[in-house]
Amino acid sequence: MADKDYYEILGVSRDASEDEIRKAYRKMSKKYHPDINHEPGAEEKFKQINEAYSVLSDKQKKAAYDQYGSADGPQGFGGGAGGQTYSGFDGGGFGGFDDIFSSFFGGGAQGAATQARQRRGADLQYRMDLKFEEAVFGKSENISYNRQGRCHVCNGTGAKNGAQPQTCSKCHGAGFITVTRQTMLGTMQSRETCDVCGGTGKEIKDKCTNCRGTGVEQERHSIDVKVPAGVDDGQQMRLDGAGDAGQNGAAFGDLYVVFRVQPSKKYVRDGADILMNLDISFAQAALGDEVKADTVHGPVQLKVPAGTQTETKIRLRGKGAPRLNGGGTGDEIVTVKIRTPKKLNQKQRDALMAYAAASGDKVKPHESNLFDKFRDAFNK
């Protein structure tokens, strides 16, 4: 590989830090690992990546390579990187099997076995429907749902008549076994969940007849839920330990309560603010007035300034919903809508004509024809 650029193989610059080189190696080795990538040339690329990292991760080899183009210094120029070849997961300074396992699957083999032994219970989800005002002010409610609880006969141990589970005879309590396989890359070892104890590290010789050794049974569970004031549609809260019981006495999962808020006919939520429309007449908008406006906290008197235009927004401080986790209360924002009458009596008509004349407007009212009169009579 004397004609190859190790930095180019790993996709890093020549001034890359040790951490950048290590991260690049993990990313590239995961991408081209032959057990994952079955494309032609992936295995050869994987070998090159390991060889490049074995040099660039070693300070002395890296210094020699940077100066002479070979990890062996001037005497090794053109002779490769010391004749090193790929020999399994321990090559390339990756840190052994556990590190490569962590890179591919998110946790080392030992960690995987530990998780298998714990067998924490599953998380559950419960949908709670709330009225608009209940979401604003909060409430307390007792809910019931089905879950996997601890077996009442064996108290979650899975063993019959109070007997205690024994250390697994196959994995000796580790929860995993080591399996050796012959692959195209040579002999490889991997750790797998024990097929006798299922990763628990415990073997139950005489299983509980009620739960058949699992330690759990179906139950109807009830719990008090305190809905915080200010929750909004789609938000959720987590209740620790209210999910399914773990097998063989392991920890319970959690319960996620998802809130579904019914829409209001009058209000709309915008975070902690509450939006509402308010209809007023032309006279109220032009002359100004003090009108009653509804809020979730009760009615208030709202001052409408003279000359208010339609779509004007008036903010009522502190009349919205509480903000979760503190932070005060939102506002109510009232949008003014000027109401135009569909029908006028003669006095109203005369008054508007006089207003138009005083304003210098030339208005030619639409006169109802015979068809309009017939339609109005029919509608009545």
Known binding-site residues for Zn(2+) equal: 151, 154, 168, 171, 194, 197, 208, 211
Q: In the chain, where do the E strands start and end?
A: 124-130, 139-150, 166-167, 176-183, 186-193, 202-203, 216-227, 236-239, 255-261, 268-270, 273-281, 289-293, 300-304, 313-316, 332-339
Q: How many CB atoms lie within 10 A of CB 260?
A: 12
| Distances from the Cα of 199 to the Cα of 101, 171, 210, angstroms | 17, 9, 22
In the DSSP assignment, the letter for residue 92 is: G
Looking at the DSSP bridge assignments, the partners of residue 202 are 167
Which residues define the annotated binding site? 151, 154, 168, 171, 194, 197, 208, 211
CB-CB contact of 136 with 295 (8 Å):
no
**Paired tokens of 100:** 């490569």
Q: Is 37 exposed, middle or buried (0-12, 13-18, 19+ CB in 10 A)?
A: middle
User: C-alpha dihedral over 319, 321, 324, 326, to 10 degrees?
Assistant: 10
- How would you classify residue 146: left for phi > 0, otherwise alpha for psi between -120 and 50, otherwise beta? beta
> Residues 64, 65, 70, 72: is their CA dihedral positive or negative?
positive
CB-CB contact of 304 with 280 (8 Å):
yes
